[in-house]
Homo-oligomer: A and B are copies of this chain.
């Protein structure tokens, strides 16, 4: 829980009273590997913050191929925030890649925090913008670099994740087949 409050305080000030309000509304939930945090075609019910574990965003392209779009690990928000705020159906799945421990807020509680804490919306806007920028920055090299360079930047950007996540998902994230990925890893060794 401390990690979560520290995370928030990076983006704005909160007094102890406000922090207690937030803590009071946070629920801890556990999701097992391969379970979904939210699903394409359904309205996201909650916004989460990862205390332990890794999740991924994924969708199926028009050829039916499963595409891993992004990984999120400890001490980061996990949410299809646009769809959550607007309460409209998501177009992507958010799936646990390992067993996860999450802090979550229901839409009702999230709104109550927003209506109670002055400046909360500003904080969350900053967080969303920050996450989007990080996403763009991390995914950009995946377009222009060759597969080996993509893998190297993945290792830099998500240190340790190689050992926690099925390689098939990483290959999908990097935009290559699992076979090519295996070959590349072999050449690097």
Chain A contact residues, CB within 8 Å of chain B: 61, 65, 67, 69, 82, 125, 128-129, 132-133, 135-136, 139-145, 172, 174-175
Q: Which 9 A-B pairs have the closest CB atoms?
A: A132-B132, A143-B175, A142-B143, A144-B175, A67-B144, A125-B125, A135-B136, A143-B143, A136-B136
Residues of B within 8 A of A145 (CB): 61
Complex CA gap A125/B130 in Å reads: 12
Residue of B nearest to A125 (CB): B125
Residues of B within 8 A of A143 (CB): 139, 142-143, 174-175
A101 to chain B, nearest CB (A): 27
A18 to chain B, nearest CB (A): 21
A170 to chain B, nearest CB (A): 13
Residues of B within 8 A of A172 (CB): 144
Complex CA gap A143/B59 in Å reads: 13
Complex CA gap A125/B126 in Å reads: 9
| A133 pairs with B69, CB closer than 8 A | no
A169 to chain B, nearest CB (A): 13
Residues of B within 8 A of A132 (CB): 129, 132-133, 136
